[in-house]
Amino acid sequence: MMEEIRLIEVKEEILSDNKGLADQLRLDLKKSHTFLLNLMSSPGAGKTTFILATIAALQGKFRLGVIEADIDSVVDAERVAKTGVTAIQLRTGGFCHLDAAMVSKGLEALDLSTLDLVIIENVGNLVCPAEFDTGAVRNVMILSVPEGDDKPLKYPLMFSICDVLIVNKIDYLPISDFDLGAMRERVLKLNPGIKIFEVSAKNGTGIEAWTGWLEQEARAFIAP
C-alpha cells in the first residue's frame, strides 16, 4: 500500500513570515519618521523617469532616498544619484520581486534619521511584486498607455493591492486605442478605494496632482 503523501504549504509559510517582518518594518519606520513608498510596474512603463519627476517636484520639501531593485543592473540608481538624492541598488540576482527582508537590507544602508521619504523602485513585472509585502506605507503601480487598457483583467492582484494607480505616458493617448473609461471601470471594480492619477512623466503633465497627494500622505505619517 502506498504511503499517503504529505503536502506542505511552503508558500503560505513564507508569505506569513514576510507579513510579520513587513508589519514590524512599518512600526520601525513610524518611529524614525520615514515614509516608505513601494512603486511597481512592468518593464518599460516609466518607473525611473516617474521617480525623477517626483524627485524634482519634492526636493526642498522632503529629504529623499531611493532604493532601486533590479535583477542585474545599476543603471537606474546611477540616474537617480545624478539628482543628488541618495540611491541604494539592490541586485536581486534572479528574484522577480522584493520582500520585507530585502527592503530591510536596503534601509540598513541608508541613514533613516536623515530621510523623510524613501521610494522603492521594485523589480519590473506585474505578478511577483504584488504577492510580497515590502513593509511600505503605501503601494503605487504604474500602467503606461502603450501597455493597453486590458491589464486590470490580466493582472487583477496588482491592481487590487495598490493604493494608487498612475496612468503614465498619457501623451500617447492621441495615437492609441487605450480606453481610459474602460480602464477606470475595470480598476475600480477590483479596488473601489484606489486613487488614479493620469500623468506624463516625460512632459510633467499631472505630476503636481500626484506629488500633492504624496506630500499629504507622507506628512501625515512622519508627523511626531
- The correct CATH number of 17-222 out of 3.40.80.10, 3.90.78.10, 3.40.50.300, 3.30.390.50 is 3.40.50.300
Q: Convert the pLDDT of each residue in 110-169 to its tens digit.
A: 999 999 999 999 988 999 999 999 999 999 999 999 999 999 999 999 999 999 999 999
Q: Convert the pLDDT of each residue in 142-152 to its tens digit.
A: 999 999 999 99
Amino acid type, 161: I
SS in 3 state form for 182-214?
HHHHHHHHHCCCCEEEECCCCCCCCHHHHHHHH
What's phi and psi for 222, nearest 5 deg?
-85, -5
Extents of the domains making up the chain = 17-222
**Within its chain, how far is the Cα of 86 from the centroid?**
18
CA distance 168 to 141: 10
